[in-house]
Amino acid sequence: MAVKTIVTDYTLPSIREAIIELQEIESATDDIWLFSVAQNPAIELVERKLGRKFANISNLSCFPYDPARLEGVDMEEGKRFGYYDKLFCSSHWALKSAATAYPQHRSRLAYTGFPLDFSQYEPYKNISKQANLVVFNQRFSWERLPLIEIELARRLTAQGYEVWHLYAPVAGNKVSADPRLQQLSSIGQSTGLKFVPNPTKKEYLENLARAAAVITTSICDNLSVAMLEAITLGAVPVAPNAMAFPEFIHPDNLYPPYDLDYIEQLVIKQPKRPHAIEQYAHEQVLARYLAHMELTDPVR
């Protein structure tokens, strides 16, 4: 049995080369095609080729605030989802949302979770916490409500907290390639929000490990890996009681969406509770993948 994994690689010298390669691939009935992104238009090049086809749903443009939706990009989800035997969802929320938007594809949807190798975080767990450090480790983007983040930073700074936004720099040292968001980041800095660049994953994890509390203001998340990383490194999570967050974060750490007063109080109280993150251990997630692909016995 051959497994053909399809990724979107924009670093190729020519996208045309990738297209030709896909068109020339010959497959057999027992082959497996695995797409990293279900909406990848490459599926249309191979949908008639032999073999079963699977893909991950990493985002959904049926969400009103999905970046693709906000930017007016048609992902053609309703059509492309129909080319797969199974579609793997990182959260129950994503599965439910996809099933509601595309009921014709309900039988194709399966929950897997997102695989995390928790051992990669072990070297950072001994880093000392900074008691007054509050971190945002989400993307600085429209669907993460940057204005609310900036206002929270102003409030928390006034309470004596140090507030960081960890980001991977783009185009030099910029927070965002979007000039409007870059301008907002300058406004945020004037209110006390410190933007900390992290050129490497190592630097990011070192900075994240120092946080006493980590906040997300997202209104569009299939599953927040950023919040899972924060919990793994011992930070107190503060997240909206919506989307996939209740699937792995204790109810005491969830706030009514948009309620800034509630968020502020959670940061002050910092409730330390157990969180159900073990379900994302890569061994468990892989077992679900294999079961849905009918390569092993079913698992929960």
Judgement on whether residues 15 and 62 belong to the same structural domain of the protein: yes
What's the total number of domains in the chain?
Answer: 2
Give the residue carrying structure tokens 């129950």.
92
Q: Examine residue 298 and state whether it is found in any structural domain, yes or no.
A: no
Angstrom distance (rounded) from CA 25 to CA 9: 17
**SS3 of residue 118 by DSSP:** helix
Asked if residue 297 belongs to a domain, the reply is no
* Identity of the amino acid at 46: V
Low-confidence ranges of the chain (pLDDT < 70): 1-15, 68-70, 297-300
Domain that holds residue 143: 118-277
Question: Using one digit for the tens of pLDDT, what is the confidence trace for 178-201?
Answer: 999 999 999 999 999 999 999 999
Same domain, 86 and 67: yes
- Residue 151 and residue 111 in one domain: no
Judgement on whether residues 273 and 160 belong to the same structural domain of the protein: yes
In terms of Cβ atoms closer than 10 Å to its own Cβ (0-12, 13-18, 19+), residue 107 is exposed
Contact in structure between 62 and 77 (CB atoms under 8 Å): yes
125 and 250, same structural domain?
yes
Q: Which residues make Cβ contacts (< 8 Å) with residue 236, sequence separation at least 6? A: 212, 213, 214, 253, 270, 271, 272
- The verdict on residue 259 lying in a domain is yes
Q: Is the dihedral of CA 251, 256, 257, 259 positive or negative?
A: negative
Does one domain contain both 130 and 81?
no
- C-alpha–C-alpha distance, residues 256 and 277, integer Å: 21
Same domain, 124 and 247: yes
- 127 shares its domain with 141: yes
What pLDDT is attached to residue 10? 47
- Measured distance CA(276)–CA(267) in Å, rounded: 20
> Do residues 84 and 55 make contact, with C-beta atoms less than 8 angstroms apart?
yes
216, amino acid identity: T
- Report if residue 173 sits inside a domain: yes
In terms of domains, do 196 and 88 share one?
A: no
In a domain, 87, yes or no: yes
Extract the tokens encoding 49. 């080729």
The type of residue at 156 is L
pLDDT at res. 20: 81
Residue 218 shares a structural domain with residue 137: yes
The verdict on 87 and 158 lying in the same domain is no
Q: Which pLDDT belongs to residue 75?
A: 81
Residue 299 forms part of a structural domain:
no
Output the domain CATH number for residue 27. 3.40.50.2000
Q: Are both 108 and 152 inside the same structural domain?
A: no
